[in-house]
Amino acid sequence: MSSITRREIARLTVLLAARRVVAATLTAAYVLRGVVRAVGAAARNLTAVAAETPGLSILLCKFLRP
């Protein structure tokens, strides 16, 4: 039975660290996707409300103008 060498331990440590980085990146991307979807839904709802409320569309144009 062979024992694990230091080189193999180092290699496994690097692979584990890389796996954690990939997992964290995917988690951040998933969270960001949820945030973008929520902001988009809020913008659509606000646009729909503004279309039905004459004064609100004027206020939105005034405050959201670039």
CA-nearest of 17, 36, 39 to 28 is 36
Any domain includes 45: yes
Query: What value does the mean pLDDT take over residues 32-55?
Result: 87
Q: By residue range, what is the domain housing residue 22? A: 6-63
In the numeric block, which tokens belong to residue 33?
Answer: 């996707």
Any domain includes 35: yes
Indicate whether 37 pLDDT > 70. Answer: yes
pTM above 0.85, yes or no: no
Any domain includes 1: no
Residue reference for tokens 């988009």: 40
- Find out whether 37 and 29 touch, Cβ atoms under 8 Å: no
DSSP 3-state of 48: helix
Any domain includes 55: yes
pLDDT at 59: 76
pLDDT at 5: 93
Provide the residue type at 22 as one letter: V
In total, how many domains does the chain have?
A: 1
Indicate whether 1 pLDDT > 80. Answer: no
